[in-house]
Every structure is written in C-alpha cells, then in structure tokens.
Amino acid sequence: MHYPHPLIAREGWPYIAIAVALALIVWRFGGWWWSLPLWVLVAFVLQFFRDPPRQIPVQANAVLSPADGRIVQVGQAHDPYLKRDALKISVFMNVFNVHSNRSPVDGSVENVWYFPGAFVNAALDKASTDNERNAVWIKTASGEDVTCVQVAGLIARRILCYIGRGDRLARGQRYGFIRFGSRVDVYLPTNARPRVAIGDKVAATSTVLAELAE
C-alpha cells in the first residue's frame, strides 16, 4: 500500500516535530549538553515510528503477521467477536518494535468493533479481554473468517484504525497503528496450521503465522 512516508509512519510526524523543536530550543539557549537528552528522545521517537516496506510472501493460504513483535500465545481459544472456537495467535509489541498494523490476509471487511477498556500489560492474556481494543473481521475469498484485534497496552493510549465495513484489504496492506506498546490477537479457523511458537520473533507481513486449510 502506498502512503506519504514509507520509512517513517505519518502518525509520527507531529511527535517528531515537537521533539526536534524542543531539542533545538534547549540547544539554542542551554547548549549541547543540556539538549542531549532531548536528542536521545528524538532518536527514540524516530525509531518508534519507523515503518519500513516489507516483502509479501506469495503463498496463497498464508496468514501473515499483522505486527512486529514476539509470539506470546498460540493455541485453541474462544473468539469472542464471532462466537466460535478458534486458533488464537497473539503478537506482543514492545516500544522498540514497528507499530504499524497490516492485514494478515486478502479479504473483505465484514465488521469492525471498538471496545474501551483498561491498559494492563499487553503481554498478559487478560489484556485480550480487559484492555481497550479494536477488532476487525475479515472474510477471505474462500469464505474463511479471520478476526484481527488491535489491543492497547500498559503505555499505549491510542488505537488507530483506518478501515470500515465493506472495505477490501490485501495481504500486507497497512490498516492501522497503535502508539507505544501493545499486542495484536489473530483468531483463525480451528483447522488452520500454526507456523510459529511462543517466544518466536515475527515481522509484520514477512512472517507467516499460520496456514489456512486448502
């Protein structure tokens, strides 16, 4: 998907501008050493909002990771959005991971649900049900249902989602962003085959989380 700033997410530019302005002001009136912590902050903000292009696997039945991070859950679970048994795979993002979210499959957006909630540590399982979250239901061309849930974390205070019911998504297409530490839960049909294990590090779009039954 093409968007204005392919290396730095557009959501980050106001934060980068503020951080750079503060660093320059302190440098101008206080000198280099006083401004150094603010330049460190600028570097942190730049790395947080980086959004590099990714290679999209060509495997037709692949479910791609919607986020960068570490796998914290793989197993059978209840999908509370589609009221079904499902294979659940969860990716935890720390503040040093890329935080743009990308579609795990090709398909049509059947529904989007937003739920306000708490901000407990996103690495914990209870974050899936207790924290602020935004769920997207995607139906593939073969009729498989995939639920992709953005979950706010301990520090995260804003979930951004740019799609709505009736939109079409392509695998790897950027559809949202979560600011400052969070997780993404993916609910798949029970016959999907996981390709990752707890503790694995994954990259949005380029890592295959699972394979849908053919």
**Mean pLDDT on 94-112:** 91
Q: What is the pLDDT of residue 14?
A: 85
Which percentage of the chain shows pLDDT scores above 70?
A: 87
Cα separation, 152 vs 92, in Å, equals: 10
Do 65 and 93 meet the contact criterion of CB atoms below 8 Å apart? no
- 183: β partners: 92, 151
- 76 against 3, higher pLDDT: 76
Asked if residue 125 has pLDDT above 70, the reply is no
Whether the CB-CB separation of 128 and 153 falls below 8 Å is answered with no
**Residue of 103, 142, 182, 206 with catalytic role:** 182
CA Rg value for the chain: 18
- Tell me the pLDDT band of 189, cut-offs 50, 70 and 90: very high
* CA dist., res. 194 & res. 192, Å (int): 6
Mean pLDDT of the chain: 86
Lowest mean pLDDT among 27-41, 142-156, 200-214: 142-156
Q: What is the pLDDT of residue 180?
A: 66
For residue 1, give both structure tokens: 């998907």
Say whether 66 sits in a helix, a strand or coil.
coil
Let me know: does 194 contact 87? Beta carbons within 8 Å.
yes
For the segment 68-75, the average pLDDT, to the nearest whole number, is 94
Active site residue 182: yes
Torsion of CA 56, 60, 65, 71, to 10 degrees: -130
pLDDT of 4 higher than 80: no
Please give the pLDDT value at position 116: 81
Residue 201 pLDDT: 96
* CATH class of the region 62-211: mainly beta
